[in-house]
């Protein structure tokens, strides 16, 4: 039986509940949608960085999300790894600034990072000191004749604005103003010349080095210990002045000359006992192991009778007599008169004198200056020690 009118007031309650549920449901859906959709990515990192000429450069940006990286830059050497955003590359030359714009793209959007990269030149000299220049040096000062020779050989002689005394090779070098007088640096002159780089050397005295430090100007110390060191110096100097090509060529010439000697002497069987006399003050000064002369004698196929002791020292006349050198090399400035050797009671009994194999160096710079011409000294010495290998076939 159907009942007559039932409570109609029940329906508004249901409606209200339904409406409420609907509203709640819509709100929930809205909230869910909002939650499930991502923010755009963000990127961070340094806005400027330094790269060094010839050295691999690497840079990794920070990002909040993963994505796809792209690069826009005017640095041809720079590339980006798409997934990590790592920038890498090796700048070939210093002195410039580049921009790099990194873009990260993903589903949530894009982010950009702008970066300025400055390329500098990092040099490490023979003293282990590190020097950073903005660009290869233009205005140069050399504090040793050997450095002057090297710079001219690299073709940048025109850029040398100040030099050391006795810089006489090549002849043009004598025209350059000298910045050292009586053992002291002319600091005012040096500062006036506004050098970009100063080439010091082994002969730069401690007093002068202190002066250089006080000046605060960029300084490179070239102090090679052996022939290989000269080759390294060539490259170092080449980089420092932006003359890498010339440096390459120069190094090849040097090495070629060196190898020439080695080759010529390849079949030599005897290594004559050699005595090098530098000077006679207080006794007979000679060069022991660790010196250039010692290396020369070895490379030229001889045996240095003084090689058991290191460095430069006064060699006892008794040891000289006992070693009985077969060849005697006299430095250009050694204060002895070799014409009297034959009749001298000490010199006359040495084999070298008896066989007439006493040689005096004419151009001492070929033996003393640690520069590119050193290889010429080596050749001369080899000819003296092994004339038979150099005789015309």
Partner 1 sequence: MPLRERLRAIPARWILLGLAGLLIVVLLFGVALGPVHIPVATVFSILLHHLPGLEGLTPVTWTSAEETIVWTLRLPRVLLAAAVGGGLAAAGVSMQGLFKNPLADPYIVGISSGATLGATIVLVAGWNVTELAIGSFVLELPELGYGLMSLAAFLAALGIVGLVYRLARTGTGLPLTTLLLAGLAMSALASALTALVIYLSPQQRASIFLWLMGGIQSSWTAVGFVVPAVAIGALVLILWARDLDALSLGDEQALFLGVEVERRKRHFLLVSTLVTAVGASFVGIIGFVGLIIPHMLRLVLGPLHRLLLPASVLGGASFLVLCDLIARTVLSGVEIPVGIITALAGTPFFLFLLVRSKAFGGEFH
Q: Which is nearer to partner 1, 32 or 207 (CB)?
A: 207
189 forms part of the interface with partner 1 (CB under 8 A): no
Q: What are the two backbone dihedrals, phi and then psi, of residue 116, each rounded to the nearest 5 degrees?
A: -110, 125
Q: Which residues in 164-196 are b (16+ Cβ under 10 Å) and which e?
A: beebebeeebeebeebbeeeebbeebbeebebb
Q: Measured from the CB of residue 180, what is the shortest distance to partner 1 in angstroms?
A: 10
Is residue 370 within 8 A of residue 146, CB to CB? The reply is yes
Q: Please report the DSSP string for 221-268 in residue order.
A: EE---SHHHHHHHHHHHHHHHT-HHHHHHHHHHHHHHHHHHHHHTTT-
Among 281, 362, 392, 393, binds partner 1 (CB under 8 A): 281
319 forms part of the interface with partner 1 (CB under 8 A): yes
Is residue 204 within 8 A of residue 147, CB to CB? The reply is no
Q: What x/- string results for residues 30 through 69 when contact with partner 1 is judged by CB under 8 A? A: ----------------------------------------
Among 321, 342, 355, 387, binds partner 1 (CB under 8 A): 321
Among 30, 31, 68, 346, binds partner 1 (CB under 8 A): 346
**What distances in angstroms separate CA 136 from CA 96, 144, 156, 201, 216, one per listed residue?**
11, 20, 12, 19, 18
The interface region with partner 1, picked from 35-43, 69-77, 254-262, 313-321 by CB under 8 A, is: 313-321
**What distances in angstroms separate CA 217 from CA 189, 194, 237, one per listed residue?**
13, 9, 17
13 forms part of the interface with partner 1 (CB under 8 A): no
Q: Which is nearer to partner 1, 80 or 361 (CB)?
A: 361
Using left for φ > 0, alpha for ψ between -120 and 50, and beta otherwise, residue 133 falls in beta
337 forms part of the interface with partner 1 (CB under 8 A): yes
Gap between the Cα atoms of 337 and 139, Å rounded: 45
309 forms part of the interface with partner 1 (CB under 8 A): yes
Q: Measured from the CB of residue 269, what is the shortest distance to partner 1 in angstroms?
A: 25
280 forms part of the interface with partner 1 (CB under 8 A): yes
Among 172, 283, 355, 387, binds partner 1 (CB under 8 A): 283
Is residue 73 within 8 A of residue 51, CB to CB? The reply is no
Q: How many residues bind partner 1 (CB under 8 A)?
A: 25
| Nearest-10 crossing angle of helices 244-264, 292-299 | 50
Gap between the Cα atoms of 116 and 153, Å rounded: 36
Among 84, 270, 316, 355, binds partner 1 (CB under 8 A): 316
The interface region with partner 1, picked from 20-28, 36-44, 260-268, 306-314 by CB under 8 A, is: 306-314
Site for partner 1 in 148-187 (CB under 8 A): 182-183
Q: Please report the DSSP string for 11-22 in residue order.
A: HHHHHHHHHHHH
Q: Measured from the CB of residue 189, what is the shortest distance to partner 1 in angstroms?
A: 19
The interface region with partner 1, picked from 190-198, 248-256, 343-351, 361-369 by CB under 8 A, is: 343-351
| Strand partners of residue 115 | 100
Q: Which is nearer to partner 1, 17 or 317 (CB)?
A: 317
Gap between the Cα atoms of 337 and 339, Å rounded: 5
Q: Measured from the CB of residue 309, what is the shortest distance to partner 1 in angstroms?
A: 5
279 forms part of the interface with partner 1 (CB under 8 A): yes
Q: Which of 131, 189, 129 is nearest to 164 (CA)?
A: 189
User: Would you tell me which residues interact with partner 1 (CB under 8 A)?
Assistant: 182-183, 279-283, 306, 308-309, 313-319, 321-322, 324, 335, 337, 345-346, 349
């Amino acid at each position: 039986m159907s009942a007559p009118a039932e409570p109609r007031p029940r329906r508004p309650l249901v409606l209200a509940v339904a409406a409420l549920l609907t509203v709640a449901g819509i709100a929930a859906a809205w909230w869910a949608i909002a939650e499930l959709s991502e923010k755009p990515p963000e990127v961070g990192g340094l806005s400027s960085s330094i790269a060094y000429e010839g050295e691999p450069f690497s840079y990794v940006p920070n990002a909040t999300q993963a994505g796809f990286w792209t690069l826009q830059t005017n640095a041809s050497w720079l590339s980006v790894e798409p997934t990590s955003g790592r920038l890498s590359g090796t700048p070939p030359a210093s002195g410039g600034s580049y921009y790099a714009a990194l873009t990260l793209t993903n589903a949530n959007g894009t982010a950009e990072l702008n970066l300025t990269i400055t390329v500098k030149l990092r040099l490490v000299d023979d003293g282990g000191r590190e020097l950073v220049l903005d660009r290869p040096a233009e205005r140069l000062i050399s504090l040793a004749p050997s450095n002057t020779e090297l710079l001219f050989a690299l073709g940048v002689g025109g850029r040398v604005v100040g030099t050391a005394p006795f810089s006489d090779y090549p002849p043009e070098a004598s025209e350059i103003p000298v910045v050292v007088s009586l053992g002291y640096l002319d600091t005012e002159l040096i500062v006036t010349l506004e050098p970009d780089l100063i080439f010091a050397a082994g002969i730069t005295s401690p007093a002068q080095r202190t002066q250089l430090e006080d000046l605060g100007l960029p300084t490179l110390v070239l102090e090679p210990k052996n022939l290989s060191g000269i080759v390294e110096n060539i490259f170092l100097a080449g980089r420092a002045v932006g003359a890498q090509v010339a440096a390459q060529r120069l190094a090849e010439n040097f090495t070629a000359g060196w190898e020439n000697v080695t080759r010529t002497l390849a079949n030599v069987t005897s290594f004559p006992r050699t005595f090098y006399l530098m000077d006679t003050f207080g006794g007979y000064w000679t060069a022991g192991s660790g010196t250039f002369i010692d290396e020369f004698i070895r490379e030229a196929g001889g045996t240095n009778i003084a090689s058991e002791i290191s460095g430069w020292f006064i060699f006892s006349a008794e040891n000289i007599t006992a070693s009985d050198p077969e060849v005697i090399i006299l430095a250009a400035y050694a204060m002895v008169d070799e014409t009297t050797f034959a009749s001298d009671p000490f010199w006359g009994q040495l084999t070298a004198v008896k066989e007439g194999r006493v040689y005096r160096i004419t151009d001492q710079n070929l033996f003393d200056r640690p520069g590119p011409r050193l290889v010429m000294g080596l050749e001369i010495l080899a000819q003296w020690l092994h004339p038979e290998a150099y005789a015309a076939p």
